[in-house]
């Protein structure tokens, strides 16, 4: 369904725009997925996002995987983010994920992500205290669950966030009747070695992996998308913290801004695809139909570097 809309305040009115909303009873759709877009100059973000949009005009909505901006209290950066996606966000819906950089003030202190919380009107989660921090939505036959992984940063302000979110998450995953379950979360679920701190062939999991992966196993989540490390990695299917063909697909989505860590992270034994190093930025396209979910990863010049299809 397509709506005509415009924005107004007092006697001021914008131009009219068209907004595409969810297709009724149609399980075939396409979504653009952008990793961390944080930047010190949002021209590269604009170039990547607009190129992806121009080549996928049939996309129904887009996702941004957290750290939308480098500093969550810097309104200049928010203007850069919105200006970069203006033609796209005027026409299709956005599903944002909160990242840790949304909690930083202009003097780089941690605070409630108040600017982020006011920027988007997201589906309700049943708890006004945590509105716009975590949420879920359905599109076609896919249930998307968006988790807030900033409970460390926000512990001083919201000490019960993690426990409350876990209760909500279990109910959210248990009660959906959709065929597919996809989780979106900013922080990743694997530890990675680097030159200064090598891990070798050791496989270990940070706290968010230890906390959430058993829940994803319990409710048979099909795919989990993460961000934060500014590198693209597709992992083997994982269940019970090990490779398992009956497990969940985990994709670390990469980077969409100009803050990059070229060749920083070592390969993890659970990585099945690692792009050539040093990495540039990238975007993903999710294509859903009656029996499959396909995740395609592209470079800024639209070269496809990875693809994976789940079938059911």
pLDDT digit string, tens, across residues 30-60: 999 999 999 999 999 999 999 999 999 999 9
Over residues 110-132, mean pLDDT: 96
Q: Say if residue 4's pLDDT is above 90.
A: no
Per-residue pLDDT, 160: 97
Model pLDDT, residue 9 = 66
Predicted confidence (pLDDT) at residue 119 exceeds the cutoff of 80: yes
> What's this model's pTM, rounded to 2 decimal places?
0.94
Model pLDDT for residues 68-117, shown as the tens digit of each residue: 999 999 999 999 999 999 999 999 999 999 999 999 999 999 999 999 99
Report the C-alpha gap between 71 and 297 in whole angstroms: 27
The answer to whether residue 156 scores a pLDDT higher than 80 is yes
pLDDT of residue 112: 96
Quick check: 298 and 283 in contact, CB under 8 A?
yes
Output the CA torsion 166→124→38→272 (10° steps). 50
Model pLDDT, residue 24: 54
In the 8-state DSSP scheme, what is residue 38? -
Output the pLDDT for position 13.
74
The pLDDT of 13-22, averaged and rounded, is 64
Statement: residue 16 has pLDDT above 70: no
User: Between 288 and 4, where is the model more confident?
Assistant: 288
- The yes-or-no verdict on residue 203 having pLDDT over 80 is yes
Look at residue 26 in the predicted model and tell me its pLDDT: 75
CA angle (59, 64, 69) in 5-degree steps:
140
Q: Which residue has the tokens 């009747």?
A: 177
Mean pLDDT of the chain: 94
17 pLDDT above the threshold of 70: no
HSE on the CB side for 192, CA within 13 Å? 21
pLDDT given for residue 5 in this prediction? 60
Per-residue model confidence (pLDDT) at position 52: 98
pLDDT of residue 200: 83
Region 183-210 average pLDDT: 95
pLDDT band at 18 (very low <50, low <70, confident <90, very high): low
Distance CA 280, CA 285 (A): 17
Q: What is the mean pLDDT of residues 5-28?
A: 67
Query: The tokens of 146 are what?
Result: 């968006």
Collapsing DSSP to helix, strand or coil, 266 comes out as coil
pLDDT (tens digit, 9 = 90+) per residue, 214-264? 999 999 999 999 999 999 999 999 999 999 999 999 999 999 999 999 899
């Amino acid at each position: 369904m397509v709506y005509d809309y415009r924005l107004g305040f007092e006697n001021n009115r914008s131009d009219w725009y068209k907004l595409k909303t969810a297709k009724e009873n149609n399980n075939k759709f396409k979504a653009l997925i952008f990793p961390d877009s944080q930047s010190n100059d949002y021209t590269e973000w604009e170039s990547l996002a607009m190129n992806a949009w121009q080549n996928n005009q049939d996309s129904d909505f887009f996702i941004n995987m957290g750290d939308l901006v480098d500093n969550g209290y810097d309104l200049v950066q928010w203007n850069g983010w919105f200006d970069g996606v203006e033609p796209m966000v005027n026409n299709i819906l956005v599903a944002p994920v909160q990242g840790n950089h949304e909690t930083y003030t202009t003097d780089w202190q941690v605070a409630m992500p108040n600017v982020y919380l006011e920027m988007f009107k997201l589906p309700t989660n049943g708890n006004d205290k945590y509105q716009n921090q975590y949420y879920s939505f359905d599109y076609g036959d896919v249930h998307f669950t968006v988790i807030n992984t900033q409970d460390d940063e926000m512990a001083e302000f919201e000490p019960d966030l993690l426990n409350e979110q876990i209760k909500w998450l279990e109910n959210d995953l248990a009660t959906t009747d959709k065929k597919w379950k996809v989780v979106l979360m900013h922080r990743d679920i694997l530890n990675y070695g680097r030159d200064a701190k090598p891990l070798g062939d050791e496989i270990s999991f940070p706290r968010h992996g230890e906390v959430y992966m058993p829940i994803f196993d319990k409710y048979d989540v099909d795919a989990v998308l993460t961000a934060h490390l500014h590198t693209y990695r597709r992992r083997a299917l994982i269940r019970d913290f090990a490779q398992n063909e009956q497990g969940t697909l985990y994709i670390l989505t990469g980077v969409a801004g100009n803050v990059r860590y070229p060749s920083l992270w070592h390969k993890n034994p659970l990585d099945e695809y690692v792009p050539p190093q040093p990495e540039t930025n990238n975007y993903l396209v999710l294509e859903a139909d009656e029996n499959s979910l396909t995740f395609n990863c592209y470079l800024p010049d639209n070269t496809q570097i990875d693809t994976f299809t789940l079938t059911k």
